[in-house]
């Protein structure tokens, strides 16, 4: 935890440990410390990405049985999710975070929504738009072909976080991912066919106060997945099989 030093965030804004960020998300911090964490999140895209990853994980697990107790394997998955979410302060070149948990299992017991109630004061607006007809860059294609869900990779234009993989009603293998850079964020769903990868959904997020919404709050995304007949997010094994095809 961060203690009661009111200048710590200004001196080292990337030093918010995972326990502190989770406590902030659960509304368990003292008011003064919560305000400091909120300010740090609003000023730091890496912290925003960590909160976004936690929120997406929680959304994927909402359908699981609330009363179930985590097994030893689940506890290991919790540790892997938390380890994967800790972004480095500086990234000199392309890097991939440690492999996180399979988002489709049950372990995550912490409520994340309180974090966004605290941080939303920065202000948000976004606009859903049609798929990109200009093609997908080579670096993003490489990530779509090999990056497991939950992992982040630094590309030349910013960071790409792979969110989840799906099978659509037409049999297409599709992947949801987010890119961030230069204060902007973009969520997209790309699907693979005989000609390669093509976007079927995209939404640009304009960040007005250094804060971005959870993907579950993006207009049109859930509707697109429903209309396309998307399956539940693939398990790690199912995803690995699809990537190898």
How do the pLDDT tens digits run along the chain, 245 residues long? 454 544 444 444 447 777 777 777 777 888 888 888 888 888 877 776 776 666 566 556 554 544 444 455 555 655 554 444 334 434 444 444 444 434 433 233 233 333 333 333 333 333 344 444 446 889 999 999 999 998 999 888 788 999 899 999 999 999 999 888 877 788 899 999 988 999 999 888 755 554 444 444 566 788 888 889 999 999 999 999 999 98
CB 115 within 8 A of CB 51: yes
The pLDDT, as a whole number, for residue 76 is: 60
Beta-bridged to residue 201, according to DSSP, are 189
Least Cα distance to 22 among 56, 42, 50 occurs for 50
User: pLDDT for 111-170, tens place per residue?
Assistant: 333 333 333 333 333 334 444 444 688 999 999 999 999 899 988 878 899 989 999 999
Domain ranges of the chain: 8-244
Q: pTM higher than 0.85, yes or no? A: no
Q: What pLDDT is attached to residue 157?
A: 73
- For residues 174 and 230, the answer to whether their CB atoms sit within 8 Å is yes
Closest CA to 202 of 142, 135, 153, 154: 135
> Residue 189 forms beta bridges with which residues?
176, 201
Give the chain's radius of gyration (CA, Å).
18
């Amino acid at each position: 935890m961060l203690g009661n030093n009111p200048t710590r965030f200004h001196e080292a804004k990337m030093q918010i440990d995972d326990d502190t960020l989770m406590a902030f998300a659960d509304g368990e911090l003292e008011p003064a410390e919560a305000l400091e964490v909120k300010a740090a999140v609003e000023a730091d895209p890496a912290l925003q990405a960590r909160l976004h990853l936690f929120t997406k994980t929680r959304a994927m697990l909402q359908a699981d049985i609330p009363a179930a107790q985590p097994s030893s394997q689940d506890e290991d998955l919790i540790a892997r999710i938390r380890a994967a979410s800790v972004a480095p302060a500086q990234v000199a070149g392309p890097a991939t975070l440690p492999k996180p948990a399979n988002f489709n299992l049950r372990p995550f017991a912490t409520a994340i929504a309180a974090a966004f109630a605290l941080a939303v004061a920065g202000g948000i607006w976004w606009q859903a738009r049609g798929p990109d007809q200009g093609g997908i860059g080579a670096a993003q294609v490489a990530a779509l072909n090999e990056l497991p869900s939950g992992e982040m990779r630094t590309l030349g234009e910013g960071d790409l976080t792979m969110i989840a993989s799906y099978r659509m009603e037409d049999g297409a293998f599709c992947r949801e991912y987010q890119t961030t850079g230069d204060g902007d964020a973009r969520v997209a769903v790309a699907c693979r066919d005989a000609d390669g990868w093509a976007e079927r959904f995209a939404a640009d997020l304009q960040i007005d106060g250094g804060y971005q919404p959870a993907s579950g709050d993006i207009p049109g995304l859930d509707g697109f997945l429903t209309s396309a007949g998307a399956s539940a997010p693939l398990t790690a094994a199912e995803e690995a099989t699809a990537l190898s095809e």
